[in-house]
Amino acid sequence: MSERAVCHSSVDTEGAGQRLDRWLRKRYPKVPQAMLQKLLRSGQIRVDGGRAKADTRLQLGQQVRLPPQLQGTEADGQAPPLDADAVAGLRQGLLFEDQWVLALNKPAGLAVQGGTGQRLSIDRLALGLVPEGAPAPRLVHRLDRDTSGVLLMAKQAAAARALAGSFQGRDARKLYLAVVSGRPRRKAGRIDRPLAKAGGEGRERMHLDPEGQTAETLYALVDAAGTRSSLLLVAPLTGRTHQIRAHLAAIGHPILGDGKYGATKGETSHGPGLMLHAAELAVPHPEDGTTLRIAAPPPPAFVATCRTLGLDLGRMEMARGQLEVRGA
């Protein structure tokens, strides 16, 4: 088996806490259970470089080694080569890098983590951003496929553990820009509504549920185009799946382009897709704990849509002050 055929996948927030065998079955539903067990027993599937058992509990940011038998590629079992153009696009969006971490301005439409039928994903393409033979960058948090903006990855295991702890707690501070339908009655506010997941794989949707997981989101108005649409600065205080999307829809202001959470046909056909951008991330640096602050400019399509709607991105700093007053 060629080592070049081996892929590595980082455990994201969805997989954290799952048993390894269940994580594998969800990712590779067509692979017989007996084959998965054999690959585990023979050490061809590993976690952070070491042998793992079926009942191993996965942790956020861990690296799972996946042999070519699982990758559903060509008959000879070779993994497809990295897409050079896609890697070059990621490299152009590199915001920060040192020996511990790298930060990307993730493009909208690109999945963070690969899966069945997923040809391109950041966790695989990121292999092209480090020297051959270097450890694969590890995911420590995630963005939805259609969300753009700051995505941080760890370049070594110690950094992954430290950053995973920051994201699981409240040490990571995230700011998003969102263009929404309508205009909130208040210029700033807090949404504190528990969320629970419904729907199967590929159809996940969060809904309000008093028995769900705690979810808190702060928002502040950046600018408004009358009562038609608004630009918001949003700070999620917790990290639930689709949290911002579900919370803004819950207060009657779905994000433009988000048909899953209530945007109407006209608001989902304006062109650039989901109008949600991860604008800034501040997190303790894994080396010394000093604040690492990364900002990502919105993509051209986002800027163009704001301009078309008459929304001024230059007002973001004033909105930031409103969030800081509320504890973001």
Quote the distance between the C-alpha of residue 213 and its chain's center: 19
Neighbour-count burial for 49-80, b at 16+ CB within 10 Å, e otherwise: eeebeeebebbbbbbbbbbbbbbeeeeeeebe
* Catalytic residue (one of 48, 85, 98, 144): 144
Tell the burial category of 190 from Cβ atoms under 10 Å away from its Cβ (0-12, 13-18, 19+).
middle
Nearest of 133, 24, 103, 130 to residue 71 by alpha carbon? 24
Q: Match 């590629």 to its residue by tokens.
A: 73
Separate counts of helices (H) and strands (E) for the chain: 9, 16
Question: In whole angstroms, what is the distance from residue 39 CA to residue 27 CA?
Answer: 15
Distance CA 286, CA 318 (A): 30
Q: Is 144 a catalytic residue?
A: yes
Residues designated as active site: 144
